Amino acid sequence: MPPSPTRLLLIFLKEPVEGKVKTRIAQTAGAEQAVNIYKSLVSTLLTQLKWIPNCHYRFCFAPADAEEAIKFWLLPDLNHRMEGPGLTPLDDKTPSVDFVAQPDGDLGDRLESAFKQGFDDGFEQVSAIGSDCPFLSASWIDIAYRQGKKSDVTIGPTPDGGYCLINLNTFTTAPFREIPWSAENTLEATLAKVEQAGLSVQLLPELTDIDHEEDWLQALETPLGPKLKKNLPKK
């Protein structure tokens, strides 16, 4: 029997419904194409994250009544079998996963709740990512966990002033309260709160997330572009 993983990766995502995902992309590309792009981003991300050593994956989904729809959408990419209420990996190189509904509140409330539950569940390191950065990879996040042992908080910044990953070694509310979310100063405000709390922090190399159609078009020109195109839903 393999040892239980000590790392937890929280993956925040939404049910792919028009008007609810990638709304800024929808402003220029249309709501239907925005959903298609979102599905491609998530499928590509799951491919990139196929296996992180010693890590359990927790899909934090919204809305709260979307669990069956989320499982139906993601299961083909997860390489897991359904056993009762849970999902079991088909081999020992596939992470264990579970699904938890996001609570009400702003992003800070939801992140705080998920991190607290993760530490209450006994995990030693907890990281959270969204579904906007397909450039995240298993090796990159493994390095984030390793680097994360050197400080209380580890953050992967994005060029727009936010971040694509946050890792904690112990539970704290500092990074999640009174933060301007989805703003140019999200990262700046988060760092200030962490430092005010007397916690050590380090930054990882910057990665680009996909918020606007221009970001998507630029991503298609990167080495990841063929995979993103392949993962677009077929018409």
Q: Where are the domains of the chain?
A: 7-229
Query: Quick check: helix, strand or coil at residue 83?
Result: strand
As a whole number, mean pLDDT of residues 81-109 equals 79
pLDDT, tens only, 100-159 = 999 999 999 999 999 999 999 999 999 999 999 999 999 999 989 998 888 999 999 999
Query: Which amino acid appears at position 59 of this protein?
Result: F
Task: Provide the pLDDT for residue 223.
Answer: 95
Joined together, the tokens standing for residue 119 give 């530490």
- Check residue 30 and give left, alpha or beta (phi > 0: left; psi -120 to 50: alpha): left
DSSP 185-211: THHHHHHHHHHHTT--EEEPPP-----
pLDDT, tens only, 146-168 = 988 889 999 999 999 999 999 99
Topology of domain 7-229, per CATH? Spore Coat Polysaccharide Biosynthesis Protein SpsA; Chain A (3.90.550)
Confidence of residue 53 (pLDDT cuts 50, 70, 90): confident
Residues with Cβ within 8 Å of 235's Cβ and at least 6 positions away in sequence, in order, are none
Nearest 5°: the CA angle 211, 139, 189 is 45
* Burial class (CB within 10 angstroms; exposed 0-12, middle 13-18, buried 19+) of 64: exposed
DSSP 134: T
As a whole number, mean pLDDT of residues 54-74 equals 92
Q: Where are the beta strands (DSSP E) in 92-152?
A: 97-101, 125-129
